[in-house]
Amino acid sequence: MLVLLLVLSTLSFSNCQQCQSRDYGNGGTVCVCNATYCDTIARPQRVPPSQFLTYTSNLAGLRFSQTSGTFAPRPNSSNRIYLNSSRVYQTIIGWGGAFTDATGINIESLPANMREMLLESYYSPNGLEYSLGRVPIGGTDFSVRPYSYDDGGPDPDLINFALAPEDLLYKIPNIQRAINLTNGNIKLFASAWTAPRWMKTNGDYSGYGFIRRFFYQTWANYYVRFLDEYRRRGVNFWGITTGNEPADALNPFDQLEVVGWPSWLIGDWILNNLGPTIRGSPNYSNLTIMILDDQRVFLPWYIVRALNNNRTRQYIDGIAVHWYLDLYSSPDLLDQTQRLFPEKFILGTEASVMPASYETPVLLGSWTRGEEYSSDIITDMQHWVTGWVDWNMALNPDGGPNYIRNFVDSTIIVNATSAEFYKQPTYYHFGHFSKFVPRGSVRIDCNLVLSDNSTDVDSVAFRRPDNGTAVVILNRNPTAVSLNILDNSRGTAPIAITAKSITTVLYW
Ligand X SMILES: *[C@@H]1O[C@H](CO)[C@@H](O)[C@H](O)[C@H]1NC(C)=O
Known catalytic residues are 245, 350
Q: Is 454 in the site for ligand X (CB under 6 A)?
A: no
Among residues 14, 51, 68, 77, the one that binds ligand X under rule CB under 6 A: 77
What residues form DSSP beta bridges with 31? Answer: 21, 423
Nearer to ligand X, 284 or 302 (CB): 284
For the bound state, the minimum distance from the C-beta of residue 425 to ligand X, rounded and expressed in Å, comes to 15
What b/e readout covers 80-95, taking b as 16+ CB neighbours within 10 angstroms?
bbebebeeebbbbbbb
Non-local CB neighbours of 453 within 8 Å, separated by 6+ positions: none
- Compute the least distance from the CB of residue 210 to ligand X, in Å: 27
Q: What secondary structure does DSSP assign to 382-433, as a single string?
A: HTTEEEEEEEES-B-TTS---TT------SEEEETTTTEEEE-HHHHHHHHH
Name the minimum Å distance from CB 148 to ligand X. Answer: 20
Q: Which of 84, 126, 263, 368 binds ligand X (CB under 6 A)?
A: 84
Stretch that binds ligand X, among 155-163, 227-235, 330-338, 368-376 (CB under 6 A): 227-235
Site string for ligand X, 23-62 (x = CB under 6 A): -----------xxxx-------------------------
Of residues 407-446, which lie at the interface with ligand X (CB under 6 A)?
415, 417-418
**For residue 231, which phi and psi values (nearest 5 degrees)?**
-60, -40
Number of residues that bind ligand X (CB under 6 A): 31
What interhelical angle do 172-181 and 101-108 show, nearest 10? 80
Give which of 4, 59, 72, 64 is closest to 27, Cα–Cα: 59
| C-alpha gyration radius of the chain | 23
Residue 81 CB, shortest distance to ligand X, in Å, is 13
Q: Which is nearer to ligand X, 26 or 100 (CB)?
A: 26
Q: What is the closest distance, in whole angstroms, from the C-beta atom of residue 87 to ligand X in the complex?
A: 4
How many Å apart are CA 268 and CA 263, to the nearest integer? 10
Min dist CB 214 to ligand X, Å, is 26
Ranked by CB distance to ligand X, the top (closest) residue is 418
Distance CA 266, CA 260 (A): 9
Q: Is 360 in the site for ligand X (CB under 6 A)?
A: no
- Binding-site member from 125, 262, 276, 397 for ligand X (CB under 6 A): 397
Q: What is the largest CA-CA distance in the chain?
A: 76
**Distance, CA of 339 to CA of 383 (rounded, Å):** 11
Q: Which residues in the 90-119 window bind ligand X by CB under 6 A?
A: none
Is the Cβ–Cβ distance between 396 and 414 less than 8 Å? Answer: yes
Site string for ligand X, 153-182 (x = CB under 6 A): --------------------------xx--
Q: Which CB atom, from 34 or from 217, has the smaller least distance to ligand X?
A: 34
Q: Pick from 6, 13, 48, 87 the residue near ligand X by CB under 6 A.
A: 87
The residues in 2-21 that bind ligand X, with binding defined as CB under 6 A, are 20
Instruction: Please identify, using beta-carbon distances, which residue of 241 and 295 lies nearer to ligand X.
Output: 241
**What is the spatial distance between Cα 423 and Cα 412, in angstroms, rounded to a whole number?**
5
User: Which C-beta is closer to ligand X: that of 204 or that of 276?
Assistant: 276
Through-space distance between the first and last CA atoms of the chain, rounded to whole angstroms: 21
- DSSP character at residue 102: H
Q: Which of 4, 153, 342, 453 binds ligand X (CB under 6 A)?
A: 453
- The burial class, CB within 10 Å (0-12 / 13-18 / 19+), for 389 is buried
In the range 471-500, which residues lie near ligand X by CB under 6 A?
A: 482, 494
Of the two residues 308 and 330, which places its CB atom closer to ligand X in the complex? 308
User: What Å distances lie between residue 468 and 71, 281, 446, CA to CA?
Assistant: 15, 40, 15
Pick between residue 145 and residue 232 the one whose CB is nearest to ligand X. 232
Among 9, 160, 283, 360, binds ligand X (CB under 6 A): 283
Tell me if 481 sits within 8 A of 442, measured CB to CB.
Answer: no
Q: How far is the CB of 82 from ligand X (least distance, A)?
A: 7
**Which C-beta is closer to ligand X: that of 330 or that of 488?**
488
Write each residue from 229 to 268 as x if it is in contact with ligand X (CB under 6 A), else as -, in one continuous string. Answer: --xx------------------------------------
Sheet with 30-33, edge to edge strand ranges: 21-22, 30-33, 420-423, 412-415
* C-beta atoms surrounding 499 within 10 Å: 14
C-beta closer to ligand X: residue 160 or 180: 180
CA distance 159 to 170: 24
Peptide bond preceding 44: is omega within 30 degrees of 0, i.e. cis? no
Give the residues lining the site for ligand X (CB under 6 A).
20, 34-37, 76-77, 84, 86-87, 179-180, 183-184, 228, 231-232, 282-283, 286, 310, 397, 415, 417-418, 452-453, 466-467, 482, 494
